[in-house]
Amino acid sequence: MFGPTKIKEEPIIPPETLYQQALDDMDGQRYATAIKSLEKLSRQHPYSEYNEKAKLMEVYANYRIGRFDEAILAADRYLALYPSSKEVPYVLYLKGTSYFGQIRDITRDQQISQNAIDTYRLLISNYPDSQYAKDAGEKMVISVDQLAGKEMSVGRFYLGNGQYAAAINRFRVVAEQFQTSTHIEEALYRLTEANLALGLLEEARTAAAILGHNYPNSSWYKEAFELLQKQGLSPQINQGSELAQLKKT
């Protein structure tokens, strides 16, 4: 009979040795190897003076090799352990950019886009003077556009299938929540189109009027104007409409 299998004990390596190994591997862009040394350092010496730097390096190394989920988890661990660190803005930036790096086309679930926005917003609101705030803001604009694009895609699908009320709900989300996106003009046009199809003439006229007021040179406004003209109508803001609040002063 065979006896119980002995678990091979992991040799304990001094923390400074593991840290230096990780540094050397990082310098040589051997990030996967560096991560192994960093994880061993955390495991063998959880209270080492090198631990904070090691955990920061772990976030960056995972990010650099595209292990975005691992980078996000490493970032969360760092933020939980060192919430007052001067490196928090950098870690938030890496976390947000790890979400951003996973954003795909608008036909997919956009929770990742929302996660990127939430993380960048946290960075910008809490550390507006950080060197990472500007780039985070630019990436947040792109992430917002992804979310708006998803709503537009679903809205167009409903519109094409004659589900006008459902389409209106999607286009309103874009018009009300994503006003800085590149989809705002089309959203207002589609609101004109869908409301006309439902016979909600005042809502259609309001959407077109808002579009014309905010974006007078838009090709979407020209189309909305022509759409109303065919019905013998003209753009006019109905102050009782919730859309009226979208008028820029």
Cα–Cα dist 128/126, whole Å: 6
Which pLDDT belongs to residue 104? 76
More confident call, 84 vs 240: 84
Cα dihedral 170, 176, 180, 182 in deg (nearest 10)? 30
Residue 8 reports pLDDT greater than 70: no
List the structure tokens of 227. 């759409």
pTM (predicted TM-score): 0.79
Cβ–Cβ < 8 Å for 243, 191: yes
Average pLDDT for the chain: 90
pLDDT, tens digit, for every residue of 124-156?
999 999 999 999 999 999 999 999 999 999 999
Q: CA dist 51 to 12, 13, 37, 99, 153, Å?
A: 16, 14, 12, 25, 46
Cα–Cα dist 26/31, whole Å: 6
pLDDT, tens digit, for every residue of 181-200?
999 999 999 999 999 999 99
Domain ranges for the chain, please list them.
13-67, 162-246
Buried b (16+ CB within 10 A) or exposed e, 6-33: eeeeeeeeebeebbebbbebbeeebbeb
Question: What DSSP designation does 108 have?
Answer: S
Which pLDDT belongs to residue 238? 83
Q: What angle do CA 237, 226, 170 make, to 5 degrees?
A: 60
Who's near 138: CB < 8 A, 6+ residues apart?
none
Residue 123 reports pLDDT greater than 70: yes
For CA atoms 126, 128, 131, 133, the dihedral sign is positive
Residue 5 reports pLDDT greater than 70: no
Cβ–Cβ < 8 Å for 158, 167: yes
Cα–Cα dist 207/237, whole Å: 8
| Residue 217 φ/ψ, nearest 5 degrees | -95, 10
pLDDT, tens digit, for every residue of 49-82?
889 999 999 999 999 999 999 999 999 999 999 9
